[in-house]
Amino acid sequence: GSWDMYRAYRDMREANYIGADKYFHARGNYDAARRGPGGAWAAKVISDAREGWQSSVSGRGAEDTRADQEANEWGRRGGDPNRYRPRGLPSKY
């Protein structure tokens, strides 16, 4: 699961596409959770740690953290990450 989370993060950084962060949050959690309970656990731990750090350090605010966590949970529950896919994001991702 941790590899899935890293791959989604790496792809998000590489894509550098405005409005795509929620898609990559959902995709990383979705891919990790499909590996089973351990993958879902890893995704939750990594997501919670990242959001905790981000909300206290980056100054992006509670609303952004809430929206990221919604996408994280959607993916972990098996929701299609494409719900958050922005128009125009290259098909490579």
- With respect to residue 14, please indicate whether it lies within any of the assigned structural domains: yes
Q: What is the residue range of 69's domain?
A: 1-84
In terms of pLDDT, which residue wins out, 80 or 51? 80
- With respect to residue 23, please indicate whether it lies within any of the assigned structural domains: yes
- With respect to residue 54, please indicate whether it lies within any of the assigned structural domains: yes
Q: What is the CATH number of the domain that holds 47?
A: 1.10.132.110
Query: Quick check: 35 and 43 in contact, CB under 8 A?
Result: no
Q: Distance between CA 68 and CA 74 in Å, rounded?
A: 10
- With respect to residue 90, please indicate whether it lies within any of the assigned structural domains: no
Over residues 3-53, the pLDDT tens digits come to 999 999 999 999 999 999 999 999 999 999 999 999 999 999 999 998 887
- pLDDT value of residue 20: 97
What is the value of pTM for the model shown?
0.91
- With respect to residue 47, please indicate whether it lies within any of the assigned structural domains: yes
Domain count, the chain: 1
- With respect to residue 28, please indicate whether it lies within any of the assigned structural domains: yes
SS3 74: helix
Q: Exposed, middle or buried, 82 (CB in 10 Å: 0-12/13-18/19+)?
A: exposed
- pLDDT value of residue 59: 63
Per-residue pLDDT band for 58 (boundaries 50, 70, 90) equals low
